[in-house]
Amino acid sequence: MNVLIVFAHPEPKSLNGAVKDVAVSTLKEDGNQVKVSDLYGMEFKAALDQDDFLNRENSGRFNPIMEQLHAAQTDSFASDIQEEMDKIKWADLIIFQFPIWYGGMPAIMKGWTERVFASGFSSDMFQGKIYDKGLMKGKKAMLSFTTGGPEENYYMDIPDKDPAKLAPVITENLKFSGFEVLKPFVIFGVIMLSEEDAEKHFEEYRKLLREL
């Protein structure tokens, strides 16, 4: 299996960095091929703008969706976007590794989804290529994220305790594009986490990855 890990944390030695490393080592040990997009390490540009397109369809007025559709038809995305798209084409599974900050994913990862999950590449709502007909159909995706506070702080308004609802923006984006979205892996309360408890979570994650 080919696995792409999209990693968003500015500190490589963070718990998120450790979880990412656990995934890389476990997946490789089981014979999988793994690539990592370290968004902070790459200094990935988060803002979707005119520079994303090498051959603008309309240079007088910027319409991001229409320019994405045009770039998908003419292979004219900026090189940093195209490199990430090539990784997605290669991957059978994408794992998103990130902390929940202020109710969502880090801005750099949101920017990655806006620029890389471009219209015409991951989906095309004008052609009905969304959800079960999305252009990413046949691929799987999984979220692996952490929270600073304890579990009860995050499920106050989520009585069914569905972890996917803690990151609704990226979850719905993935479903919209046709991905089969797997159940997330979550570590709560990392600020208070002991090394012993962290290792228990790592072992749980190793087990989960080997069962994929």
Tens-level pLDDT at each residue, the chain (212 residues): 999 999 999 999 999 999 999 999 999 999 999 999 999 999 999 999 999 999 999 999 999 999 999 999 999 999 999 999 999 999 999 999 999 999 899 999 999 999 999 999 999 999 999 999 999 999 999 999 999 988 888 888 888 888 888 888 899 999 999 999 999 999 999 999 999 999 999 999 999 999 98
What pLDDT, on the 0 to 100 scale, is given for residue 118?
98
C-alpha dihedral (14, 20, 24, 27), degrees to nearest 10:
140
Residues in CB range of 89: below 8 A, 6 or more apart: none
Q: Tell me, which fold does domain 2-211 have in CATH? A: Rossmann fold (3.40.50)
Burial class (CB in 10 A: 0-12, 13-18, 19+), 27: buried
The reported pTM is 0.96
Helix (H, G, I), strand (E, B) or coil at 37: strand
